[in-house]
């Protein structure tokens, strides 16, 4: 098959970018989208042109490295499918395909289709963990966890941190990403002691990184390759609100115990 | 070359405990004076960096990915072994130890494997404490499943995404330390050389992949947790970025390389579809709990799977290995698949495939139960092949998956360069000639969470803290060396892309150093690789410059190292005149086609020492002693 690509090319964060057009013929429908780009790049190299830079690694939909906006949709037309798992059989011969990087103030372009997603790491560093020093754990079966809770926690924990939710959101909000981690840990007994503090810290960090607020568009869920439910954002907001309401009391208690 | 493994004295059950007592300690107030470099952020790297930082060491952690959460441990599917005996099915530390030694075809160090089995139980505890959402039963306790090479259910799992969940646990522990300022994280940084000062590893040279700057980082000790080298085959289940550069640079600085020829070919991967193929995708071994492997009895049977009656199918693993059946270990299952395809009974385009069929399981358990266990794998299969495995059997074929070989380390995980530690898949230590399923995650976390925090202190306690000066000639020389190397890659200005040379190397390796090897083929590839390397040096083309994000330049550097490592693998495979585990030499097999070991001549680890560009590397041996497990012929029949 033959497709026409309009690819965003940008030298670096400081330079202006623009679309460049490439004809890609002799494309097999069994190729993944990224394999199609590999072929285009090989041909560019043969012609002595700079190949298109794009992020990718595992190419099996789990590492979260790849991510292209394809015809306006993060990760392209197929639901619950990362860019690397999208195959050319999802397109028709003769199609025009527009390829862009994630667009968000918090994700500056590094080059072409590659963006800097380190703000997501900083949201995790702010509180997306359970404090459990290595070696200090009780037996794994000491604390039973309801299967329903464990399963739902797992559903939240499947987030691959690709950032498609941010790219899809009209406000470029990272709420689904942040809510997924908060939900995962809030459903487990191990996550309870730090639950409210975690919500407070992660949401505060999300705001500080320049992500927009959630105004319930739900585009994030539609774009999420792992289908993280948008309801998790409600759980995040509930914990965040509770954390704010009880903060004074908790600080007073902390002060008392520190003083004692 | 000193290959003292420093195995503690005493009975095997007491060695690790005794060693922990005998090791020197660094007192808590002094720990903050020491700094450690960790390269890699997978299970071993992230786990080790977090654990060392928790102890109080100052840690710098580097990864080539844009976030430490993306290291390839994330892609591990099936599970992690632990000798918890939660199933009451006769498991124990001793049995896990025994299964792993036997699974590795008696080519691993007993003491290391015993320690791994011992630590396995702590790993599960730690992961649960960190919030890893393992699969659970309705009573709220942890569930298990079976994996190849074992007759007990000791594998803990999180649907088909166990590696992801374990890695996120380690990543979160690492991010916590980053937030506390104990770890400085350097994503999008690739290690391109090791800095050795006065015989000790004291730093690394890295390239900032986003901006192109080359810089040195110095510390009191260096850990490599950079994964395996399966991408030497071009097509493998590894991530595209996985590479051998860190361990190869260390090898060329004097770290010995153990058993480079031991590679694992995983039996259940999605078959190749064409020339454009850029990587191969694994279908978890856990699927063999419920999937049955078969091919048509008759050669060239082109009927659809559902049209072939049971009597005309050959469930060859069940037939050949009745006691382990579909859960035969990986090396054995892979060779059996190759054999039936070589006989002309393979299925799918090109005849390089066998069926993995869930029809019986769906009949027995219902589609929902199968979905609950494997849904993400089935979805992945469907996306790639456009076939629905709930309706038609999966088609699978073996593919390169893991490398048991790696840098030689002693019991403390220290290489032959003092101060250079090697963790996880990057080292050679625990899996012998074949790794059992669900044991890689176990080893990565054992090395990272539990072993390196102890043995690092023992090393540092012998040194005054403080890295060498940045102006030290060794430091400046290493930086200049890297800059020159990058400049040379950019200056060739030929016609071939790094990918095209890489693909050609991969085809050579797969053909002559893959699932079955022989003297003629290995001799041939030992001539072909230097020729290809010469061509690479003459015809490579890399667009762009060094001072920017340049993915072609990154790839070119990795391919240059693969072109050298591939040769060492073939050399090692040629010298090992026996078949063991994943290393199968056509000349050394039993009448029924099983691997024939030669314990009289090869009951040792082959350890290679780099000499110089002009001379062949030197082969040394570390003899293997089996005092607790009887050195027997491995049988799964």
State pLDDT tens for residues B598-635.
Answer: 999 999 999 999 999 899 999 999 999 999 999 988 88
**Cross-chain Cβ contact A46/B497 below 8 Å:** yes
Residue B248 has pLDDT above 90, yes or no: yes
**Residues with Cβ within 8 Å of residue A16, at least 6 apart in sequence:** A10
**pLDDT tens per residue across span B532-587:** 999 999 999 999 999 999 999 999 999 999 999 999 999 999 999 999 999 999 99
Band of the pLDDT at A257, cuts 50, 70, 90?
low
Residue B184 has pLDDT above 80, yes or no: yes
CB-based contact A3:A91 (threshold 8 Å): yes
Whole-number Cα distances in Å, B73 to B170, B264, B498: 11, 16, 25
Scan residues 469-498 of B and list those with Cβ closer than 8 Å to A. 495, 497
Inter-axis angle of helices B551-575 and B498-513, nearest 10: 20
- Is B14 contained in some domain? no
The 3-state secondary structure of B329-369 reads CHHHHHHHHHHHHHCCCCCCHHHCCEEEECHHHHHHHCHHH
Tokens 């083309």, residue located: B541
The 3-state secondary structure of B359-407 reads HHHHHHHCHHHHHHHHHHHHHHHHHHHCCCCCCCCEEEEEEEEEECCEE
Question: What CATH number is attached to the domain comprising B573?
Answer: 1.20.58.100
Query: How much is the pLDDT for A258?
Result: 54
Q: What is the DSSP string of B265-332?
A: EEEEEPPP-STT-----B--GGGGGT-EEEEESSTT--S-GGGS-GGGEE-HHHHH-TTTGGG--HHH
Token pair recorded at residue B516: 């079955």
Whole-number Cα distances in Å, A109 to A15, A69, A173, B63: 10, 13, 17, 20
Give the integer Cα–Cα distance in Å for B158 and B148: 18
Give the integer Cα–Cα distance in Å for B83 and B123: 10
Within a 13 Å sphere around the CA of B314, how many CA atoms are in the beta-carbon half? 19
Q: Which of B40, B43, B46, B128 to mutate to test the interface with A (most CBs of A within 10 A)?
A: B128
**Residues with Cβ within 8 Å of residue B615, at least 6 apart in sequence:** none
Tally of CB atoms within 10 A around A112: 25
Query: Residues B64, B69, B74, B75: is their CA dihedral positive or negative?
Result: negative
Query: How much is the pLDDT for A246?
Result: 87
- Is B50 contained in some domain? no
Give the integer Cα–Cα distance in Å for B404 and B329: 14
Q: Helix or strand or coil: residue A122? A: helix
- Is B31 contained in some domain? no
How far is B187 from chain A, CA to nearest CA, in Å?
9
Give the integer Cα–Cα distance in Å for B87 and B93: 14
- Is B415 contained in some domain? no
**pLDDT tens per residue across span A208-256:** 999 999 999 999 999 999 999 999 999 999 999 999 998 777 777 776 6
> In total, how many domains does chain B have?
2
CB-based contact B405:B428 (threshold 8 Å): yes
Are B286 and B390 within one domain? yes
**Which of A35, A49, A51 comes nearest B276 by C-beta?**
A35
Tally of CB atoms within 10 A around B455: 21
Query: How much is the pLDDT for A251?
Result: 75
Are B382 and B479 within one domain? no
Give the integer Cα–Cα distance in Å for A153 and B280: 30
Q: Which residues of B touch A145 (CB under 8 A)?
A: 136, 140
Residue range B379-393: mean pLDDT, rounded = 95
CB-based contact B122:B442 (threshold 8 Å): no
A117-259 classified as CATH 3.40.630.30: no
Band of the pLDDT at A260, cuts 50, 70, 90?
very low
Q: What is the DSSP string of B124-187?
A: HHHHHHTT----B-TTSSBP-B--TT-SS--EE-STT-HHHHHHHHHHHHHHHHHHTTSEEEET
Token pair recorded at residue A3: 């497709």
Give the integer Cα–Cα distance in Å for B470 and B477: 11
- Is B586 contained in some domain? yes
Strand partners, B200: B197
- Is B630 contained in some domain? no
Tokens 């080790």, residue located: B48
Token pair recorded at residue B248: 């190869």
**pLDDT tens per residue across span A13-56:** 999 999 999 999 999 999 999 999 999 999 999 999 999 999 99
Strand partners, B623: B604
Are B361 and B496 within one domain? no
Scan residues 159-188 of B and list those with Cβ closer than 8 Å to A. 159, 161, 163-165, 168, 171-173, 175-176, 178-179, 185, 187
CB-based contact B550:B207 (threshold 8 Å): no
Are B382 and B488 within one domain? no
Q: Helix or strand or coil: residue A190? A: helix
Among chain A residues, the shortest Cα distance to B47 is held by A134
**pLDDT tens per residue across span B249-296:** 999 999 999 999 999 999 999 999 888 999 999 999 889 999 999 999
Domain boundary among B398, B418, B440: B398
Domain ranges of chain A: 3-111, 117-259
CATH number of A3-111: 3.10.20.30
Are B392 and B482 within one domain? no
What percent of chain B shows pLDDT beyond 90?
94
Token pair recorded at residue B37: 């470099």
Is A53's Cβ below 8 Å from some Cβ in B?
A: yes
Question: What CATH number is attached to the domain comprising B318?
Answer: 3.90.700.10
The per-residue pLDDT of chain B, averaged, comes to 96
Are B383 and B481 within one domain? no
**pLDDT tens per residue across span A158-211:** 999 999 999 999 999 999 999 999 999 999 999 999 999 999 999 999 999 999
**Cross-chain Cβ contact B276/A38 below 8 Å:** yes
**Cross-chain Cβ contact A50/B543 below 8 Å:** yes
Scan residues 70-89 of B and list those with Cβ closer than 8 Å to A. 70, 72, 74-75, 84, 86
Q: Which helix (H) or strand (E) holds B205?
A: strand B200-208
Domain boundary among B378, B398, B418: B398
Active site residues of B: 330
Whole-number Cα distances in Å, A238 to A165, A182, A241: 20, 11, 5
Residue B213 has pLDDT above 70, yes or no: yes
Is this structure's pTM higher than 0.95? Answer: yes
Segments forming the whole domain that contains residue B599: 473-620
Query: How much is the pLDDT for B209?
Result: 98
Is A47's Cβ below 8 Å from some Cβ in B?
A: no
Band of the pLDDT at B305, cuts 50, 70, 90?
very high
**Cross-chain Cβ contact B168/A35 below 8 Å:** no
CB-based contact B608:B572 (threshold 8 Å): yes
Strand partners, B193: B205
Give the integer Cα–Cα distance in Å for B542 and B491: 8
CB-based contact B460:B59 (threshold 8 Å): no
Token pair recorded at residue B493: 């200005």
Are B484 and B598 within one domain? yes
Report yes or no for ipTM above 0.90: yes
**Cross-chain Cβ contact B72/A157 below 8 Å:** no
Query: How much is the pLDDT for B586?
Result: 96
């Amino acid at each position: 098959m033959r497709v026409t690509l309009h690819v965003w090319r940008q030298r670096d964060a400081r330079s202006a970018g623009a679309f460049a057009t490439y004809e890609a013929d002799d494309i097999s429908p069994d190729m993944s989208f990224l394999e199609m780009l590999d072929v285009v790049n090989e041909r560019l190299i043969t012609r002595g042109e700079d190949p298109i830079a794009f992020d990718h690694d595992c190419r099996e939909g789990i590492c979260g490295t790849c991510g292209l906006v394809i015809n306006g949709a993060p990760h392209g037309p197929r639901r619950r499918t990362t860019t690397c798992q999208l195959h050319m059989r999802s397109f028709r011969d003769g199609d025009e395909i527009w390829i862009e990087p994630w667009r968000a103030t918090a994700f500056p372009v590094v080059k072409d289709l590659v963006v800097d997603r380190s703000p997501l790491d900083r949201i995790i560093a702010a509180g997306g963990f359970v404090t459990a020093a290595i070696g200090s754990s009780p037996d794994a079966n000491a604390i039973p966890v309801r299967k329903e809770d464990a399963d739902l926690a797992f559903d939240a924990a499947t987030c691959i941190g690709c950032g498609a939710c941010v790219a899809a959101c009209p406000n470029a909000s990272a709420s689904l990403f942040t809510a997924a981690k908060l939900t995962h840990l809030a459903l487990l007994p191990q996550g309870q002691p730090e639950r409210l503090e975690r919500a407070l810290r992660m949401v505060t960090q999300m705001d500080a990184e320049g992500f927009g607020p959630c105004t319930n568009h739900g585009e994030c869920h539609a774009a999420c390759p792992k289908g993280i439910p948008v309801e998790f954002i409600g759980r995040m907001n509930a914990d965040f609100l509770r954390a704010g309401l009880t903060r004074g009391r908790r600080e007073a208690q902390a002060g008392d115990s520190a003083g004692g | 070359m000193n290959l003292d493994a420093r195995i503690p004295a005493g009975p095997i059950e007491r060695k690790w405990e005794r060693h922990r007592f005998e090791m020197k300690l660094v007192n808590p107030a002094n720990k903050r004076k020491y700094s450690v470099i960790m390269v890699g952020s997978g299970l071993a790297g992230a786990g080790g960096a977090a654990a060392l930082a928790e102890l109080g060491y100052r840690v710098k952690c580097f990864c080539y990915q844009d976030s430490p959460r993306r290291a390839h441990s994330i892609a591990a599917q099936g599970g992690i072994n632990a000798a918890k005996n939660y199933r009451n099915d006769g498991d124990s530390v001793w049995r896990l130890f025994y299964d792993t030694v036997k699974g590795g075809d008696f080519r691993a160090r007993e003491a290391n494997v015993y320690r791994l089995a011992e630590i396995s139980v702590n790993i599960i505890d730690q992961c649960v404490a960190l919030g890893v959402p393992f699969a659970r039963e309705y009573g709220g306790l942890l569930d298990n499943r079976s994996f190849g090479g074992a007759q007990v259910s000791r594998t803990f799992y999180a649907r088909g995404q166990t590696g992801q969940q374990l890695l996120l646990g380690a990543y979160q522990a690492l991010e916590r330390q980053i937030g506390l300022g104990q770890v400085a994280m350097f994503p999008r940084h690739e290690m391109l050389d090791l800095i050795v000062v006065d015989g000790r590893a004291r730093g690394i040279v890295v390239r900032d992949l986003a901006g192109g700057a080359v810089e040195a980082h110095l510390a009191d000790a260096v850990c490599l947790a950079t994964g395996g080298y399966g991408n030497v085959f071009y097509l493998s289940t590894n991530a595209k970025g996985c590479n051998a550069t860190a361990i190869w640079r260390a090898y060329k600085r004097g770290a010995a390389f153990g058993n480079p020829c031991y590679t694992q070919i995983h039996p259940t991967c999605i078959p190749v579809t064409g020339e454009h193929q850029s990587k191969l995708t694994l279908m978890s071994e856990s699927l063999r709990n419920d999937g049955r492997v078969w091919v048509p009895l008759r050669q060239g049977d082109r009927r659809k799977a559902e049209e072939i009656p049971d009597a005309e199918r050959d469930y060859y693993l069940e037939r050949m290995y009745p006691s382990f059946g579909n859960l035969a270990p990986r090396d054995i299952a892979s060779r059996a698949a190759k054999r039936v395809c070589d006989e002309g009974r393979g299925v799918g385009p090109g005849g390089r495939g066998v069926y993995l069929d869930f029809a019986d399981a769906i009949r027995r358990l219902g589609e929902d139960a199968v979905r609950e266990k494997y849904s993400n794998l089935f979805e992945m299969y469907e996306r790639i092949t456009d076939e629905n495995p709930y309706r038609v059997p999966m088609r699978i074929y073996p593919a390169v998956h893991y490398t048991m070989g790696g840098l030689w380390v002693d019991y403390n995980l220290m290489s032959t360069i003092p101060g250079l530690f090697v963790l996880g898949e990057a080292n050679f230590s625990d899996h012998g000639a074949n790794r059992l399923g669900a044991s890689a995650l176990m080893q990565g976390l054992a090395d990272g969470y539990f072993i390196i925090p102890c043995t690092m202190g023992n090393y540092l306690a012998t040194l005054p803290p403080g890295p060498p000066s940045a102006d030290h000639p060794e430091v400046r020389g290493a930086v200049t060396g890297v800059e020159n190397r990058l400049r040379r890659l950019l200056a060739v200005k030929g016609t071939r892309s790094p990918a095209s040379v890489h693909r050609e190397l991969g085809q050579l390796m797969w053909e002559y150093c893959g699932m079955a090897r022989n003297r003629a083929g290995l001799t041939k590839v030992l001539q072909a690789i230097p020729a290809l390397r010469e061509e690479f040096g003459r015809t490579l083309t890399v667009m762009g410059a060094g001072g920017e994000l340049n993915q072609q330049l990154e790839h070119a550097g990795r391919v240059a190292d693969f072109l050298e490592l591939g040769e060492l693998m073939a050399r090692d495979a040629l010298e090992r005149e026996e078949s063991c585990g994943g290393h199968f030499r056509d000349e050394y097999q039993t009448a029924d086609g099983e691997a024939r070991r030669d314990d009289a001549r090869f009951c040792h680890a082959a350890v290679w020492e780099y000499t110089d560009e002009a001379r062949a590397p030197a082969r040394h041996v570390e003899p293997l002693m089996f005092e607790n497990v009887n050195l027997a012929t491995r049988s799964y029949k």
